[in-house]
Amino acid sequence: MVVVFVLVAVAVFALLAGVHRYVWRRLVGDTTAQGSLARRAGTVAVWVLPLLSVGAFAGGRAGFPFWLQRVLAWPGYLWLAVLLYLTLALLVGEAARPLLRRLLARRAARTAAAGTEPAAVPRTAALVAATSATETPAGAPAEAPVEAATDTDAPAASPPPESVPEPEAEPAPEPSPHTPADPSRRLFVARAVGGAAALAGLGTVGYGTYGVLRGPRVKRITVPLARLPRSAHGFRIAVVSDIHLGPILGRAHTRRIVDTINATSPDLVAVVGDLVDGTVADLGTAAEPLAGLEARHGSYFVTGNHEYFSGAAEWVDHVRELGLRPLENARVEIAGFDLASVNDVAGESEGQGPDFAAALGDRDRSRASVLLAHQPVVIDDAVAHGVDLQLSGHTHGGQLWPGNLLAELANPTVAGLERYGDTQLYVSRGAGAWGPPVRVGAPSDITVVELASKRT
């Protein structure tokens, strides 16, 4: 196991080193002069930024002071997102480079041909030039016009010299793809493609960061449940997952989420795991606005995998103090249905993994049931225990495109509502972000799930 971990770590570092080398060559090496200030600055950045990223990831695990984690987090995490989209944009630019070079070469060839072509000599000007040699010099007496010669002894007039045709200009040769490009043209192409890639990468990350910092948007869905009684028709559950309070997202982020949830006037609030990335000592105050959640049937909390990285027992106690009810492999009866919850699978390392028998084993199966489970991968257990609806998070919807493609390999559902047998699974994209505070192609959300009875 250790050998596999080491091999994976070496492969990841080798990949990152190769990507950084490629980005440096395209954005710095190809666009700046050797020894220039710009090249030195770019080289320093390519060394320092990945070190900040490593520090941002390792800071929490290594026990760095929280203030230092915050200093490292912004540049370290953001650089990873910028690196991703810079690399993708530069790879797209590789296809544009030869096209741009050929276009510029043809334009330069046409310009050169137009500048060296001899000007056409007008016919009248040629005639004047041909006769100017016979004109009388200034000051000489004018001679009488010469009459037509009739004397056979008179010498015959010499015929005018024939005009020599100008040689035709040869067409400019077509540029060959194998001809070395002009250095200035090559520099222009490198700077144009590099600049466009930088604008695309930074613009994408900037917009994705704004989407996270402005807070999640409300999404509403209706889920019919066959066993839900008419008395519970229209029951609304506000589902929020993956808030990820940490060195970047703090108390203000929690306040935005609480205000957004309260504005929907839900009957019940379900906080479905990954509330934090840090300890209660560092982030307890950032979570305090959760005490302001308002719902007729209360607010419930279930652990996610990141709670087990941050001290799950302490966080369970803390959210209880804030007025939320932790459901650890447990079940409660709500008006018209059972609300159950299982711990996250990451708790298995601490002997606190999911226990479906404890949460659902002895329930009345004639009642509808809603299960809170952080990870969608437990859907097979939910189906086996006759759950009507499972509410999950964890995937972030992929968070950074094309991360959704990787998320699809590890999860049955990445985002949205799908059916598995008689059980429906809804996966929220989450309200925060892990690592880079950036979302691209996977906007954050708080989902209001309205339960509908088929008996109406």
Please give the pLDDT value at position 456: 62
Residue 306's contacts (CB-CB under 8 Å, 6 or more residues apart) are 244, 273, 274, 275, 276, 277, 434
The predicted pLDDT at position 170 comes to 54
Q: What local confidence, expressed as pLDDT, does residue 60 receive?
A: 84
- Which pLDDT belongs to residue 186? 87
Residue 147 confidence (pLDDT):
42
For residue 360, which of 384, 383, 340 has the smallest C-alpha distance? 340
pLDDT score of 135:
43
Does residue 328 come out as left (phi exceeding 0), alpha (psi in the -120 to 50 range) or beta? Answer: beta
- Residue 389: closest CA among 456, 340, 336, 349: 340
Q: Please tell me what DSSP assigns to residue 338.
A: E
Residue 139 neighbours by CB under 8 Å, 6+ apart: none
DSSP at 154: S
Q: Are 396 and 242 in contact (CB under 8 A)?
A: yes
Q: Say which residue the tokens 């972030």 belong to.
A: 396
pLDDT tens digits, 352-377: 999 999 999 889 999 999 999 999 99
pLDDT of residue 171: 55
pLDDT lower than 70: segments of the chain:
1, 115-182, 456
Gap between the Cα atoms of 40 and 57, Å rounded: 27
Backbone phi, then psi, for 233, in 5-degree steps?
-60, 130
pLDDT given at position 168: 55
User: pLDDT tens for residues 295-351?
Assistant: 999 999 999 999 999 999 999 999 999 999 999 999 999 989 999 999 999 999 888
